[in-house]
Structure 1
Amino acid sequence: MMDIFINEIKNDSINIGHQDYYDDFHFLKPILENKKFVFLGESNPCVKEYDVAKVNLIKYLHQQLGFNVLAFEGDFGDCIIGDFLSTDLDSMKFMFGSIGRIRSNEYILELFDYIKETKQQQPLQLTGIDLNQNEDGHLSSFLRSQLPDNLKLILLEFEKRANEIIFDTRMMKRLRLRKEVEEIESIGNEFIKALEKHSFPTMTLRKITIRTVKNRLKLVKGAVKKSILKLFNYWDELKAENLKYLSQVYPNEKFMIWANNLDIMKKGSASCFPSYKSTFENLPHFIKETSYVLGLYAKEGQMIDDDEHHYPIKKASKKHLEWLLNHTPHQNCFIQCGLKWGQTKWKAFEGGNLRISFKPAEQYDGILYFKKVSPAYFSMKK
């Protein structure tokens, strides 16, 4: 049976180019022309080859197939406000304020150059689905420039106290903070009422701002009432709700969603933890049925963590997806998961070292595979 799998990889994988030249995606046209949502995964967010390939794929989908909305796994409010401000920002500030430090690097900067260039003719709209407020994010800076002094003080107090709870992982301390939730909720609700009365440049910006504040209130309550695993699940529920909301804001547009593999797996509970549901699993049926899900994996090379510490991708055995896909004659390739090899359970590495197992056909429609990858550094000056 293994020979059959290997022959499928050798015969059915499609070359996507190499190094900085990933632009041969014409084979995707018949596959994606009737899809409305294309999910672009990654086994790690700090990989040069992934970023370059995805940026070029996004350009292709936008130019050739009319995908005009990019939903980044960046903060919902920061990305949308950033797009609104983009014509007055240079690409670097546009990128940092939208997606934050860890996602920002020289390869993704090219994407933000491109988004700015499209605004004159066929705009590519940047949006976000996550709830991670960025340091110096666009939403906060926009509100500070728009709001009167009394509301600025409420904004600063709300952000400070909400972040203290959301990002404190010490369970005992978070449990003691339950007493503060009602007070923070009161501040947030007062702020929302003021925002509803405040004059914004557009009605959409008011709605986006209020939704972002409501999202953070939900996270504050979830952070003190839920276990870490349940909080992660809840976070994915909220991200799915944000994407559903965006599909209603742009009902006639086609979406590209940039996220990590675990978020977009169709059955995350079957590959990671039984109680875990991915963002994709939380989506409504009308999105799922018009989606194409693309995972990204690599055989070897270096990756980096959030502190830019290097580590190698673990060595794959014959039971690993990466070992099988490495039989492709191409340095980097695309392959659909509906073949026989995709019906079999394989191990795989997320982030280069987290071992999971799954049947590819249950999780993805296709995979972009890279034989060797290298880090994408995010230590760039704003």
Structure 2
Amino acid sequence: MNVTHRTSVARNGRAGSPTVRAAVVGAGFMGRVHAESVRRAGGQVVAVASSSPFTADAAAAALGAGRGYPSLDALLSDAEIDVLHVCAPNTVHVSVTLAALAAGVHVICEKPLATREADAAALVGAASGRVATVPFVYRFHPMIREMRQRLAAGEAGVLSTVSGGYLQDWLSESTDDDWRVDAELGGPSRAFADIGSHWCDLMEFITGDRIARLSAQTLVVHERREVSTEDVASVHFTTESGVVGTLLVSQVAAGRKNRLHIEVSGTQTSFGFDQEDPERLWVGRRRGNLVLLRDPDALSAQAARYSRLPAGHAQGYQDCFDAFVGDTYRAIRGEDPADGLPTFEDGLRAVRITEAVLRSAASGGEWNEVLP
């Protein structure tokens, strides 16, 4: 992928080894995850933008950045960077990303890419000529890649159903709060846009099939704001090939910390994956089931590529994030990032599914078409 950008990728002390210079907007949990992945990918966090001069130094210290800036404008006008990681609240993703693209830098933008379909489509257009990715990082679990490869090879036979969910409990008590709950910062959807979008992206990535129509219900369990966003979403859908699917999303499921699970059922073989147990892939057959363990020597080449540690040494969420950032940086350096790098087009797709969910829920569960 050859692109042009404002600054050339710097060279570090090793001959011919390029260093990607990164900046981050947002110094919260996701900003820290991004910054750690920058370093593990061989990049350098040279700057972070904060909301004021009083917090800039603290933000830089939190992320291990070279310098803190009191605003995005100050950062973009002064810092020499190759890529901006956007980890700010959802409703400012568009303005921050557009500013970065106009400055000639590549962008990694947290999901949701935007809170409206029109804005997400505008970002796709503005990103032409840049590397622009969205961290749908669960694609980078080795056992997800193994499932995808086996489905592509036809091992499942005829697919009939896809089921699963994404369950968390960090908002299960009425006193739990976060900026994501505020529609002015998080947008009109919370639980589905935040985590349901991950599940839908993963399902479409694994199967190569797309959600065509859906019927949804949402539920507000705790009224935390004048305008409350959903705590729970239940979705029934059919895909373009006719597969039937169900999805349950909740951020108020006590005891479930981050359980993304998906099962794909076929006439010959079924496959199941649970993100809280990512070292295993369940393989179901009529005459005997088995569990595949993450072992680089036994996996397909597509899965082994992302199996960074020997068998028995558990990999998890941060490893997925590292692989995603690593592939993005390979694209920035003009190298082949390998198959499956999630781009702004994938971010736009997620916004379109989210809007279909909200339309359906508002109409009492009527079936809605999902824009392609």
Using structure 2 for the length normalisation, give the TM-score.
0.27
Larger fraction in strand: 2
Q: Which has the higher contact order (CA 8 A, sep 6+)?
A: 1
Larger fraction in helix: 1
